[in-house]
Structures are given as C-alpha cells and as structure tokens.
Amino acid sequence: MLGDIILILSGKEVALKVREEVKKECAKFVALSSHKPTLAVVLVGDDPASATYVASKTKVCEELGFVHQDYKLEANIEEDVLLNLINQLNKDANVDAILVQLPLPSHMNERKIIKQIRAEKDVDGLHVTNLGSLLSEEEGFVPCTPAGILKILEYYNIETSGKNVTVVGRSNIVGKPTAALLMQKGNDATVTVCHSRTKNLKEATLNADILIAAIGKANFITDDMVNESCIVIDVGINRVDDDSRKKGYRLVGDVDFENVEKKCKAITPVPGGVGPMTIAQLMVNTLLAAQRHYNKRS
C-alpha cells in the first residue's frame, strides 16, 4: 500500500512492464502461428496531436514485433471513402486489428465510422458490441485508456474495492467505460460520474478516495477540490501557450499538478502518466485480437 510520502504514479514505468510482457507473448505467438499481429491505423487529416500519437503507436508496434499498416487520408475526403477503406480492412484476413484515430473531421459521423469496424478487430474497444460486453462483463475489448488506468492502480497496489471513486467526464472513450470497469466484480468501487451539468462538483471530488479527471479542460481540478488522502488520476492532455518552450507550448493535464501534488496522496503526471498506458493497452488488445483470430482459424 501507499505510505505517507506523496507518490508520483509513473505510467511510463508501468507501460514498460506491460510492453515487455507483450513482446514475450508476441514472440511465442509468432513461433506458433507464423503470423505477426497486424494493426491497421487510419489517420484522417493533419491534426498534429493525432499525427504524433499515431507515430508513437507505429514505434511501439515495431518495438514489439507487430506489423503496422498506416493509412493517411486527406481531411476533406468523403465519408464513404473512409467507410470503404474500413470494409477492405475488415475483409483482409491478414489484418487483426483496426484503429481509426479520433477525433475525425467535423463532417464525419464518428459513431457511424466506429460501428463500421468489425467488433473483433475494434482494438479501441469503442464498438457498441465491445462497450456492451464491458457492461455485461463478457469477453470483448476494453477501451485502452480505462484499461490503462486500472493497470496503473493495480501496479501500485491501490485498492479499489469499497472505495469512493469520482470520475469527472462522461465520454464514451474514457468516462463511461472507466466507471463501468471500476464497478465490475473484482474492482468493486462505488463510482460517481460528474459532468458539465453536475451540481456541487467540488463536494463530489472532495469525497473521492480516487479521483479520475477526464474532462478535457486544462488545470480544471484545483487543490481545493481534493482531500489529503486522495489518489488522483489525470487523463487530460491539453496544450497551453508557453513562450519559454521551443515549440511555444507545453502539455498539461486536467489537474493543476503543481498545486494538487502538494496536497494529495498520489498523482499521475502529464505527460508520462496515463498516456503511455493507453498505447501499451492498445498493444495488449492487438495481440489478443491476433490470438483470437488465429484460434478461430485453427
């Protein structure tokens, strides 16, 4: 368990352990099947953050011995072009996993695009079938960021059973699946989900043994919103202007790290916290997709 010293929960450290294990399991799988797990990543447009994220995924794929197929589409393409590409990848027996990088351009329907991916290749875990499996505690792909959060808590021996967990944010990517995952048998947390219409938000955050910030607003959680025994998980990645930096900006989370760190019991940094775990869990899901694909063919 955690001691009296404020602990920085390094997602980088946990991700390294996860990737090492995936690399070993991948080598065993390749020896058995003569097939390398194959991930197809589709990037639409030229959003710098998305491009950086895709590049990171490519690098980790190569590190672990996966095959990656990268598809770069112009931001102004018709939605049908993307849907047709997804259909081709769905039918390609050599492709185990498909990921369409979000967000998509505003003229595209994200839900429609996600539903087009076959559930057994949806390693982002965002298809309605996989989200339904999560709610009913059946086999499927768990969304990568929520899975990464649980892995961080597990790695640092942070107990969730019977704890009050407040999730700030209700997105389908993080907020909702994180809440569902924490409520599952075995995790057994009591979860409060807060959002833009929540009244007395501060009361809910102060009551949290574990606070998960996933609202997408820089430095939104301040030190007066957390108690001294709170474990803070910061999911946010926001750019703020900073003329002292070469790039002219710096990355911050949804939590005012500088001040909250002085008060809480443990906290994830940004960058270096949840972000690396999201990619690590994507690799876990990709290997799992390949294993299931192979077992069906065998």
Residues 6+ apart with CB under 8 A from 37: 26, 29, 65, 66, 67, 96, 97, 286, 287, 289, 290
Torsion, Cα of 217, 222, 227, 232 (10° steps): 40
If residue 211 lies in a helix (H) or strand (E), which one and from where to where? Answer: strand 210-213
Catalytic residue chosen out of the listed positions 96, 122, 124, 209? 124
C-alpha neighbours within 13 Å on the C-beta side of residue 101: 26
Query: Can you tell me the distance from the alpha carbon of 214 to that of 193, in angstroms, rounded to the nearest whole number?
Result: 11
Contact assessment for residue 236 and residue 217, using Cβ atoms and an 8 Å cutoff: yes
The answer to whether 124 is a known catalytic residue is yes
Pair 175, 254: CB distance under 8 Å: no
Q: Which position among 57, 121, 163, 265 bears the catalytic label?
A: 57
Give the DSSP per-residue string, 72-98: EE-TT--HHHHHHHHHHHHH-TT--EE
User: Rounded to whole angstroms, how far apart are CA atoms 39 and 20?
Assistant: 18
Whether residue 43 contacts residue 50, with contact meaning beta carbons closer than 8 Å, is answered with yes
- Please state the three-class secondary structure of 110-175 as a single string: HHHHHHHCCHHHECCCCCHHHHHHHHCCCCCCCCHHHHHHHHHHHHCCCCCCCCEEEEECCCCCCH
Catalytic residue among 101, 116, 281, 291: 101
- CB under 8 Å to 176, separation ≥6 — which residues? 131, 170, 193
Q: Are strands 249-252 and 238-241 parallel, antiparallel or unpaired?
A: antiparallel
Q: Is there a catalytic annotation at residue 115?
A: no
Residues identified as active-site: 57, 101, 124
